[in-house]
Amino acid sequence: MTYQDDDFILVGNFGRPIGLKGSIKLNSFTRPPENIKSYSSFFVKDDSEFIELEVKKISTSGKNLIIFLNNCNSLDEAEEIYKGREIFIPKLELPETVDKFFWNDLIGLDVIIQSSEKNLGKVHSLMETGSNDVLIIKNTNQEDILIPFIMKQVILEVTEGSIYIDWEV
């Protein structure tokens, strides 16, 4: 999985082709998955360049999301060109949030135990566990430290460069 850059956010990827006319299963990384339909422009990355997709529509079929692209008209095209590719949106399309955070905003922040001012390391990634998200922090030895992302209980404050926590290691 590709990490975000400053201008584009990873929101999903293409799954297997569906049907003969080029429709493709859409694996959404948004929560809930249907939120991906609220964005207006989608991009794929070729080398270092982002290329905009021409989306006809995104529909739901059972539990699956299906994406229809203007320039994808066959099962072979869907398989060869799109299957497995990551889908991005412009970061400017993200809604404003208060006391909520997008994962990409947290990656790279220092994690500090507030009571001792001890720096545990930097947020490397996050994982979804069902009950709450979990920060995966890499310390100076490149070991993983897992911290539940529970606001007001474990996560005390998130600033531009740091996350202050109430946690004992």
SS3 122: strand
Q: How many other C-beta atoms can be found within 10 angstroms of the C-beta atom of residue 149?
A: 22
Note whether residue 75 is domain-resident: yes
pLDDT digits (tens, 9 = 90+) for 93-111: 887 776 677 888 899 999 9
Host domain of residue 52: 8-93
In this structure, the answer to whether residues 80 and 43 fall within a common structural domain is yes
Residues 6+ apart with CB under 8 A from 26: 12, 14, 15, 36, 58, 64, 65, 66, 67, 87
| Phi, psi angle pair for 38, to nearest 5° | -80, -10
Q: Give the single-character DSSP code of 82.
A: I
| Phi, psi angle pair for 104, to nearest 5° | -65, -25
What is the model's pTM?
A: 0.72
**The predicted structure's pLDDT at residue 105:** 84
Strand partners, 70: none
In this structure, the answer to whether residues 20 and 72 fall within a common structural domain is yes
In this structure, the answer to whether residues 131 and 161 fall within a common structural domain is yes
In this structure, the answer to whether residues 89 and 32 fall within a common structural domain is yes
Note whether residue 138 is domain-resident: yes
- 61: domain CATH number is 2.40.30.60
Regions of the chain with pLDDT less than 50? 1-2
**The predicted structure's pLDDT at residue 5:** 65
Asked if 10 contacts 29 with a C-beta cutoff of 8 angstroms, the reply is yes
